Chain A
């Protein structure tokens, strides 16, 4: 197990290194942010001064080393547009994104497992078919369009929920959160539901397939022979067995929820780091783009590592397979 942990950790660090190189090369190789930042009437001397002040006159490998050295101390550069440390800008907006992503995942799991269980237990009933049909729709619906339609129905037509923003935030351990006040929750519902949709469909499918397979297994037959009620079989045995793949997928998908929050945040003007990324791409604010990518990639690698280690711990076959 220790060997597995060490090998997996080394892989993660290698991935981080390669990604930092790719991200840096990609983002820094193109466009000249000085053109955007500086007054068009500026003369050559002024352009040269600004370029030097931003450290853009050094050769690319040197810029990369400077970037890497600073990144190691938590300094990802200064935003050209905000004139503030990029990492501060991103970290400031991270709680909003994490809150949205967590709310979305909770919705997906809390609705997806019961629906999938129901569809798996009664696949041929109208309700079972309707759930499956709904999940195909959930996969196919473009997230951003659903967001617009949610705003149209619940905000414009019915007038129940606000169209955008985060609403008032309350402070929890020094972090601003929305879910503690009614007004904050009203702002959170639509974006969270929008972001949850794809994973809801995914979890419904996983739970349904898992349930159908589990119901054919010997342990269910034995449980029946022992005279357990159907409710206890489903909750005590089937549910526990289908949870392993669902937990794995939910863990891995949490990363992609954070990535897809870019879209939802743009629609609902949710002040998270995804919206910051889109705004930064539009003004070529390199340090923020690179900073966002570094933080998200690190988050991803950490999530994947945690899920892998958890799986290895839960299921010995995984780590044995790695050794073979």
Chain B
């Protein structure tokens, strides 16, 4: 059996993980196809009908359709708003994870490979940052930079890179003592080539697990910051902002405006965490299979 098929077989042994992967794939597909599958364009103000405002789930629209998940205060179809919101939340989560991973891995590998003052400097920076909770760092950065899709990605990257740097360095320190690295050094290969072609592939397993966990954390953190009004502007409503909009209606019993975006967020985060849990079980050599 090829290693990849072995890996897939191991993964499939956990039904929860397979279910998580399935749900996540569905959500991803829904987010990608949002403009084509959602019943209306929730941000085309001409398509909204104020007479349809705050309708309960399953209500009929004035135009004859059905609002399966109800409507918000402007008569916007919640199902469509959620599909578009999911798109933004997933984009932010993935973009920040990808950029954070790249920066963190480069810093971690460089720290492990070159050592010395670079290692000391980077790791003190990581220690300093990890001593404070992520939300505090993100709050301060957003307070300084203001709102915006690019700004929230920057804030999330700034929060995340330290985790990747620490993990990459720890893995690389173990690997660099092995014979194949010594062989590569003896061949006088350039540093960059050893780091990225030899060291990096062997450091990947713990980084993959961490990236999955952090992607879920990034999506949650973005939603939280947007809920507090510090993340995305109203023109780019992620799930967090939708929930925040529904907050004002909860007290009057219009529960669906906050409930359903929250369930979508929950489904995304739980499914990623289920996959991450399984990845950890398979990839962590310290665990008994």
List chain A positions with a Cβ less than 8 A from chain B.
Answer: 15, 18-19, 23, 26-27, 29-30, 136-137, 139-145, 148-149, 151-152, 155-156, 163, 255-256, 259-260, 262-263, 266-267, 277-278, 281-282, 289, 293, 296-297, 300-301, 304
Expressed in whole angstroms, the Cα–Cα distance for A126 and B65 within the complex equals 44
Known: A137-B270, A145-B258. A263 touches B228 (CB 8 A): yes
Chain B interface residue number, banded: 35 or more
Chain A at the B interface: SS class: helix
Expressed in whole angstroms, the Cα–Cα distance for A15 and B131 within the complex equals 10
**Interfacial chain B residues near A144, Cβ < 8 Å:** 223-224, 227-228, 240, 243
Known: A148-B258, A152-B255. A141 touches B266 (CB 8 A): yes
List chain B positions with a Cβ less than 8 A from chain A.
Answer: 128, 131-133, 135-136, 139-146, 216, 220, 223-224, 227-230, 240, 243, 246-247, 250-251, 253, 255, 258-259, 262, 265-266, 269-270, 273-274, 277
Known: A27-B140, A148-B247. A259 touches B133 (CB 8 A): yes
A159 CB to closest chain B CB (Å) equals: 11
| Interface contact A259-B135, CB-CB below 8 Å | yes
- State the total of A-B contacts with C-beta under 8 angstroms: 108
| Interface contact B250-A152, CB-CB below 8 Å | yes
Expressed in whole angstroms, the Cα–Cα distance for A267 and B135 within the complex equals 16
Q: Which residue of A lies closest to B227 (CB)?
A: A144
**Interfacial chain A residues near B228, Cβ < 8 Å:** 144, 262-263, 266, 278
Cross-chain contact of B128 among A18, A29, A148 (Cβ < 8 A): A18
A157 CB to closest chain B CB (Å) equals: 8
Cross-chain contact of A26 among B144, B227, B229 (Cβ < 8 A): B144
Known: A140-B216, A262-B228, A300-B131. A277 touches B273 (CB 8 A): no
Known: A136-B273, A144-B243, A282-B229. A23 touches B266 (CB 8 A): no
B8 CB to closest chain A CB (Å) equals: 23
Expressed in whole angstroms, the Cα–Cα distance for A262 and B225 within the complex equals 11
Expressed in whole angstroms, the Cα–Cα distance for A262 and B131 within the complex equals 18
Expressed in whole angstroms, the Cα–Cα distance for A80 and B8 within the complex equals 59
**Interfacial chain A residues near B258, Cβ < 8 Å:** 145, 148-149, 152
